[in-house]
Amino acid sequence: MDGAHLMGDFKGTILHVVAMDENNQIVPRVYEIRKKENGLTWTWFLEKLYECVGDCQDLTFVTDRADAIRVSVENVFPHAHHGLCAFHLLGNIVHSFRKND
């Protein structure tokens, strides 16, 4: 789950959720285009997702380290697991430390 900023003629942010199916394939599930990404937009987005899937057992969200997403997941899906994306963590490490470190 993440948000991506749109460029070009249509500005805004697309919030999206993907899932893994029984064949281990990534499948887009939900998306929404908003003017901006913040705690209120993530909470509304996850509340709509909750209306569709409910409080599923063993539900896991994998996201970047954005506080707005973390807080929204904790509030809307309190029993879900929340992991951090290894790609984003590696990017943070590379960005934070010099090559020789």
Domain ranges of the chain: 2-96
Q: Which residue numbers in the chain have pLDDT < 50? A: none
Which pLDDT score, from 0 to 100, does residue 66 have?
83
Which pLDDT score, from 0 to 100, does residue 99 have?
64
Q: Compute how many other C-beta atoms are within 10 angstroms of the C-beta atom of residue 70.
A: 17
- Spatial neighbors of 9 by CB under 8 A, at least 6 apart, are none
Find how far residue 73's CA is from the centre of its chain. Answer: 9
CATH of segment(s) 2-96? 3.30.420
C-alpha–C-alpha distance, residues 69 and 3, integer Å: 9
pTM of the predicted model, to two decimals? 0.78
